Amino acid sequence: MRSEAFKGKGVFGALGLGTIMGLVGSHCGTPILLVILSFAMLEGNMVYGASLLFIYGLDRGVPLVLAGTFTGVVKNMGKIARWSKVMEKVAGSILIAIGLYYFWLA
């Protein structure tokens, strides 16, 4: 669904678009949310469960807020692009190292 095709405005438009985005993004967050809720139920402590859910909510929301806040950084992407190959190699090396570490643990 293209954003130009969505004609909703105001509170109901935000509700409709938020519902659509929630349905689209739920396949990523639902398994993690089920694990968090399982940990909370096993512990039997409401404060522990609430703190886990709060941290999960921060993890889901803060990157979006930061991305929306610092959109001016996109204008300077040309300066950052020269480092992209180095950043890709560093990130790939970290992923390989973590994979090897987990393989070693198994």
Q: What is the pLDDT of residues 84-96, one digit of tens each?
A: 888 899 999 999 9
pTM recorded for the entire structure: 0.49
Alpha helices in the chain, H assignment, sequence order: 10-43, 46-69, 77-81, 84-105
Amino acid at position 33, single letter: L
The answer to whether 17 and 8 are in contact (CB under 8 A) is: yes
What would the mean pLDDT of 58-78 be, rounded to a whole number? 77
